[in-house]
């Protein structure tokens, strides 16, 4: 939960100006922290912590920030000038995300009253440059937000970065339960789980499907009854096959029990390994995702982890974030669109209408017809996100898209589906996506922005590729070439 985290506001100054100025700095910084915390676009509390006047104070506050579980990041600002040599040791120790907020307490220059006392107290223009230099000189990954602190656009930018920082804190504690291994022969769903633990903090452990089946055996009829009531509240029943729905409820309850026991917020499974199960979990997986957890099909633990991280980052925002798969295109010239879906498991957070529970046979997997949620995606601006293992480094690819109402009815398609136009256009975007190595699995989000993902990738220290309306094949080719060189040097 975003509310579980806070951000520390640490203000730069020095002893040169005397105690009166320092008292004013503290007072105003406290006021700014309180008012920012109350702003609608600021998702977590901002707490004023210290005015830094020397090396030791900086070291002390950064050490505390590292140790404090609630602290998801540090926001710094220089009300006065603050010599940056005294920030070096503290910033060197800082392990939490850092944002340099280049702002000013007053919006306007009081032209008639301005004197040198005012200049000494209000010299963010001076202080923030010295502060900026040391961040750059130290090659310290950090966010820079610039603008007047009471402006909505500035608060939105700061708030969005805070969401990325919480995503990073959440990622570092994330556990993914893998039921079964990756799908046989598939390459892009694979990856180095040790590298993922080092870079992202993920624990990605395997649990036998037999253990899941055994846990299903312990689910009671009363638990299933309660789950069916929940389904009735959330979804429309469009099937007479109660047994199929009850079986999904049993699967869901068992998956949740294991996840809860392990403290996991994401899971993957594989239709090739359903040993002892009658149905591929469809409705079960979808209803788990509806509560903020992540899922990846075919053993894709990377997309499972990213799904829950993005849900966490987007908490409370309009729209949704869903595990997605590119399926098929409509290639009418000039109007090209992509149709995304999955065998069953698309998260209802992106649904345009109340999802329907339906039961249909499944062409693959060799099991009973599974119950699943069927719906159309809601139109709106969005992104698709893919994380791939390049061998030696992780790469995130983000593409800007626009979800649309499907151009025609698809009465015979028994799965949830989302249709979208892509930037800069479907075919150019597709070529760039393929050149960058983007997967067929992605997280589609209409609540998290590309900027938030870029900030998250920066905090995690991974490569970031963004396909936008400005992207050309040439620019992408050059960026990929230069990135390859740059990352080889690291
Ligand atoms: Mn798939």
Q: What is the pLDDT of residues 271-288, one digit of tens each?
A: 999 999 999 999 999 999
pLDDT of residue 364: 74
What are the residues whose beta carbon lies below 5 Å from ligand 1 (ion)? 297-298, 325
CB 49 within 8 A of CB 70: no
Q: Taking all residues of the chain, what is their mean pLDDT, rounded to a whole number?
A: 96
Output the DSSP codes for 91-158: HHH--S-EEEEE--S-SS--TTT--HHHHHH--HHHHHHHHHHHHHHTT---EEEES-TTSHHHHHHH
| Ligand 1 center from residue 323 Cα (angstroms) | 9
| Ligand 1 center from residue 205 Cα (angstroms) | 20
Q: Tens digits of per-residue pLDDT, 317-369?
A: 999 999 999 999 999 999 999 999 998 999 999 999 999 999 999 877 678 99
> What is the bridge-based pairing of β-strands 6-12 and 71-78?
parallel
| Ligand 1 center from residue 298 Cα (angstroms) | 6
pLDDT of residue 156: 98
| Ligand 1 center from residue 419 Cα (angstroms) | 17
| Ligand 1 center from residue 325 Cα (angstroms) | 6
| Ligand 1 center from residue 183 Cα (angstroms) | 9
Burial, 201: exposed, middle or buried (Cβ in 10 Å; 0-12, 13-18, 19+)?
Answer: middle
| Ligand 1 center from residue 141 Cα (angstroms) | 34
| Ligand 1 center from residue 297 Cα (angstroms) | 5
| Ligand 1 center from residue 281 Cα (angstroms) | 13
* CA dihedral sign of residues 44, 49, 54, 58: negative
Q: What is the DSSP letter of 83?
A: -
Closest CA to 392 of 319, 280, 327, 484: 484
Helix (H) or strand (E) holding 344: none
pLDDT above 70 covers a percentage of the chain that reads 100
Whether this prediction's pTM lies above 0.95 is answered by yes
Evaluate if residue 408 carries a pLDDT over 90.
no
Rounded mean pLDDT, 449-471: 98
Per the listing, tokens 């029943």 go with 237
| Ligand 1 center from residue 299 Cα (angstroms) | 9
| Ligand 1 center from residue 114 Cα (angstroms) | 64
| Ligand 1 center from residue 377 Cα (angstroms) | 18
CA gap 294, 297 in Å, rounded? 10
| Ligand 1 center from residue 340 Cα (angstroms) | 10
Q: Tens digits of per-residue pLDDT, 282-318?
A: 999 999 999 999 999 999 999 999 999 999 999 999 9
Burial, 453: exposed, middle or buried (Cβ in 10 Å; 0-12, 13-18, 19+)?
Answer: buried
| Ligand 1 center from residue 447 Cα (angstroms) | 22
Higher per-residue confidence, 195 vs 367? 195
Evaluate if residue 219 carries a pLDDT over 90.
yes
Rounded mean pLDDT, 94-117: 96
Closest CA to 454 of 462, 464, 446: 464
| Ligand 1 center from residue 440 Cα (angstroms) | 7
Evaluate if residue 27 carries a pLDDT over 80.
yes
Q: Tens digits of per-residue pLDDT, 46-89?
A: 999 999 999 999 999 999 999 999 999 999 999 999 999 999 99
| Ligand 1 center from residue 448 Cα (angstroms) | 22
| Ligand 1 center from residue 314 Cα (angstroms) | 23
Please report which confidence band the pLDDT of residue 29 belongs to, taking 50, 70 and 90 as the band edges. Answer: very high
| Ligand 1 center from residue 417 Cα (angstroms) | 13
| Ligand 1 center from residue 300 Cα (angstroms) | 8
At 291, list the tokens.
């509560």
Task: Name the phi and psi angles at 148, rounded to 5.
Answer: -70, 130
Evaluate if residue 490 carries a pLDDT over 90.
no
Distances (CA, A) of 108 to 23, 81, 148, 201: 21, 19, 10, 44
């Amino acid at each position: 939960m975003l509310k579980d985290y806070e951000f520390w506001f640490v203000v730069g100054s020095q002893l040169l100006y005397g105690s009166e100025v320092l008292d004013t700095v503290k007072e105003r910084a406290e006021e700014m922290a309180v008012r920012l915390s109350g702003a609608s676009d600021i998702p977590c509390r901002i707490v004023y912590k210290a005015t830094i006047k020397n090396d030791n104070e900086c070291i002390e506050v950064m050490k505390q920030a590292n140790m404090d579980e609630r602290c998801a990041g540090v926001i710094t600002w220089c009300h006065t000038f603050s010599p940056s040599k005294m920030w070096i040791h503290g910033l060197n120790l800082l392990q939490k995300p850092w944002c340099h907020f280049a702002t000013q307490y007053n919006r306007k220059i009081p032209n008639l009253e301005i004197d040198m006392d005012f200049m000494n107290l209000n010299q963010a223009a001076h202080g923030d440059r010295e502060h900026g230099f040391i961040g750059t000189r130290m090659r310290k990954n950090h966010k820079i937000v610039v603008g007047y602190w009471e402006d909505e656009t500035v608060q939105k930018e700061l708030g969005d970065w805070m969401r990325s920082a919480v995503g990073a804190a959440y990622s570092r504690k994330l556990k993914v339960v893998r039921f079964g291994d990756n799908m046989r022969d598939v390459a892009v769903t694979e990856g180095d789980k040790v590298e993922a633990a080092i870079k992202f903090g993920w624990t990605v452990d395997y649990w036998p499907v037999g253990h899941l089946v055994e846990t299903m055996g312990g689910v009671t009829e009363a638990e299933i009854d309660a789950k069916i009531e929940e389904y009735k509240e959330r979804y429309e029943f469009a099937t007479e096959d109660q047994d199929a729905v009850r079986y999904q409820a049993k699967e869901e309850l068992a998956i949740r029990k294991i996840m809860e026991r392990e403290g996991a917020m994401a899971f993957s499974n594989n239709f090739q390994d359903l040993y002892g199960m009658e149905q591929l979990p469809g409705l079960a997986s979808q209803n788990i995702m509806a509560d903020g957890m992540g899922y990846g099909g075919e053993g894709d633990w990377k997309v499972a982890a990213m799904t829950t991280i993005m849900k966490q980052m987007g908490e409370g925002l309009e729209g949704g974030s869903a595990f997605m798969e590119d399926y098929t295109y409509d290639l009418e010239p000039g109007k090209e669109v992509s149709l995304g879906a999955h065998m069953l498991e698309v998260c209802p957070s992106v649904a345009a209408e109340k999802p329907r529970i339906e039961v249909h046979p499944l062409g693959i997997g060799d099991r009973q017809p599974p119950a699943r949620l069927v719906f159309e995606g809601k139109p709106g601006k969005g992104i698709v996100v893919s994380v791939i293992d390049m061998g030696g480094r992780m790469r995130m690819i983000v593409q800007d898209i626009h979800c649309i109402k499907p151009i025609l009815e698809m009465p015979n398609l028994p799965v949830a589906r989302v249709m979208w136009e892509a930037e800069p256009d479907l075919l150019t975007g597709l070529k760039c996506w393929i050149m960058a190595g983007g997967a067929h699995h992605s997280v589609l989000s209409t609540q998290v922005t590309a900027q938030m993902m870029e900030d998250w990738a920066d905090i995690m220290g991974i490569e970031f590729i963004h396909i936008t309306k400005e992207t050309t094949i040439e620019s992408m080719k050059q960026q990929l070439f230069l990135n390859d060189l740059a990352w080889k040097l690291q």
